[in-house]
Amino acid sequence: MLDRRDNYRDLRSHFRWQLPERFNIAVAVCDDWARRAPERTALYDFHAEGEAIRMSYRELAERSNALANALRAQGIRRGDRVALLLPQSFETVIAHLAIYKLGAVALPLALLFGVEALEYRLHSADAAGVVTNETGLAKLRPILGRLASLTALISVDGRDGEARGLNELIASHSTSFEAEDTGPDDPAMMIFTSGTTGPPKGALHGHRVLLGHLPGVQMPHEFLPQPDDLLWTPADWAWAGGLLNVLLPGLYFGVPVVSSPAQKFDPEAAFVLMEKMRVRNAFIPPTALRMMKTVTGVRDNFDLNLRTIGSGGEALGRESYDWARAELGLTINEFYGQTECNLVLSSCAAIGVSRGGAIGRPVPGHEVAVVDEAGRPLPAGEAGQIAVRRPDPVMFLEYWNNPEATAKKFVGDWMLTGDQAVVDEDGYFHFFGRDDDVITSAGYRIGPAEIEDCLTAHPAISLAAAVGKPDALRTEIVKAYVVLKPGWQPDAHLAEEIKSWVRHRLSAHEYPREVAFVESMPLTTTGKVIRRIFRERAREEAGL
């Protein structure tokens, strides 16, 4: 954990990792609290109509103990993978903790996945169990016969055909359970990469991944926990961002976490939730923040209680940074990480670590650099790939059943992220795109993030993606795909206006030479724009 310091230099110099020899996530985030303060609030479940439902650490411990007994009775053993196909809910937390107590491996999956995506992940992981709901069951039924390793199928909505009811199982098993004796490196969870640039891979993490996240959570939330802190995120708990940036650290620190089962993000509903629940600390991904910018009169219409907002998962951009300062009266603390090694860069306005357009500086305990192809750290101002030095407690153990991909992730002791960036003279990292996202035009290497940030600042544009379209003269040209705000009509005049907007705000080599209007933006379950789809479309348009 971070000791509060007045400046970044002292924060880093006074930090040391002290990992215990034995550690179990469920014990640390639930059972320890249940012994010390059993009636302390662990979770709130928000409902737009009526009062939020509360769950204490005692209830959480008892129900997860009973489910652990039930899973063991159904044949789940230490090391088995158990999938969770659920929205944010009490049951999701109970299932996670039961899995960790068994020494099994949690496999969080998004309900937004289609049948093929689910089959790929469940088959790749050799999942032995699935905890889901009616919606998930409907997707799973066509493929159940092809999941040979599956022995336990549980529904939170009650018994349904081959699925056992979660509440019935909890009621019929003992609330006493002694968690498996696990170490920091014992597997705890497997989170599939988002698949923006290729087939998703299962990143296997040990129980230490929670400890590794703690400084990276405290830094953007300005030394959480503070009195009356209350956490919420619209990010799916199936994503590392929702699970490891909010849910598990919140429980560890004794900070209540608000759940909301909504699967489609509604910016106005987000403001309503934060107002009603008196949310103090929010993690809001950049795409969601851009959508929230479309809500007018925030200061006049909502009585917010926010202390901190953290954002990450993709580049936030200067426009959203400035909007939050003007409209919310807060500086968004941007941070950076990826599924394999999350929350290693961060901002913290409370100690002056904040710069619009930058993704932060290294979190204490993590050594991060921009390196060249040989893994050599580059000086300030030179573009390269973000890399993290091992060993690092937040770093993944391996890609599941994929030693070749695991080996390719490293050059020496540097774990390569695949993200392009530069570091400025003050040590701030500036992200400009994935390796595959970088556009090569007339000899320039152009990152899409800055262009997209500029595009979404245009009054007509809600969301945008910038990609390279093959071009015989320039190698590639910048092509923009944009979603318009309500009330705007796509036409040639608006397309020219958008081109001019970017040309005059960025540069002549970065502006989109082509603009296409689209009805919707393809997003991963983590809220990132899937630029790969537009790159493929642009190649087809170029006849390739």
Q: Residue 195's pLDDT is what?
A: 53
pLDDT at 216 over 80: yes
DSSP state of 458: S
**pLDDT, tens only, 272-330:** 999 999 999 999 988 889 889 989 899 999 999 999 999 998 778 888 999 999 999 99
Query: What are the boundaries of each domain within the chain?
Result: 26-189, 439-541
Maximum average pLDDT range among 19-33, 111-125, 306-320: 19-33
Q: Which CATH architecture has domain 26-189?
A: 3-Layer(aba) Sandwich (3.40)
pTM for the predicted model, two decimal places: 0.85
225-229: long-range contacts at Cβ-Cβ below 8 A with a sequence spacing of 24 or more? 225/253, 225/254, 225/255, 226/280, 226/307, 228/278, 228/280, 229/253, 229/255, 229/280, 229/281, 229/307
Tell me what pLDDT residue 197 has.
Answer: 47
State how far the Cα of 111 lies from the Cα of 86, in Å rounded to an integer: 6
Angle between helices 492-505 and 448-456 in degrees, nearest 10: 120
Question: Is pLDDT of 137 > 80?
Answer: yes
- C-alpha span between 149 and 144 (Å, rounded): 10
Instruction: Output the average pLDDT for the chain.
Output: 93
- What is the rounded average pLDDT of the residues 226-241? 95
Q: Percentage of the chain with pLDDT > 90?
A: 79
Alpha-carbon span 90 to 41, nearest angstrom: 12
Q: What is the rounded distance in angstroms from the CA atom of residue 533 to the CA atom of residue 524?
A: 11
pLDDT-based confidence at residue 527 (cuts at 50, 70, 90): confident
pLDDT-derived band at 393 (thresholds 50, 70, 90) equals: very high
pLDDT for res 166: 98
Cα–Cα distance measured from residue 464 to residue 523, given in angstroms and rounded to the nearest whole number: 11
pLDDT tens for each residue of 497-518: 999 999 887 777 789 999 999 9
From the number of C-beta atoms within 10 Å of its C-beta (0-12, 13-18, 19+), residue 356 rates as middle
Tell me the longest C-alpha to C-alpha distance in the chain: 71
Fold exhibited by the domain 439-541: GMP Synthetase; Chain A, domain 3 (3.30.300)
pLDDT at 196: 47
Residue in this structure with the two tokens 């090569």, named with its chain if needed: 440
State yes or no: pLDDT of 198 exceeds 80: no
Report, as an integer, the average pLDDT of 420-439: 86
The confidence band for 471, taking pLDDT boundaries of 50, 70 and 90, is confident
pLDDT digits (tens, 9 = 90+) for 51-76: 999 999 999 999 999 999 999 999 99
* Burial class of residue 511 in the structure, from the number of CB atoms within 10 Å of its CB (0-12 exposed, 13-18 middle, 19+ buried): buried
Residue 525's pLDDT band, with cuts at 50, 70 and 90, is low
d(CA 130, CA 261): 19
Location of structure tokens 């708990």: 237
Could you list the beta-strand ranges (E) of 339-436. 341-346, 361-362, 368-371, 384-389, 398-399, 410-411, 414-423, 429-434
- Phi and psi dihedrals of 89, rounded to 5? -170, 165
User: Of 66-80, 249-263, 467-481, which one has max mean pLDDT?
Assistant: 66-80
Q: CA 81, 85, 89 angle in degrees (round to 5)?
A: 115
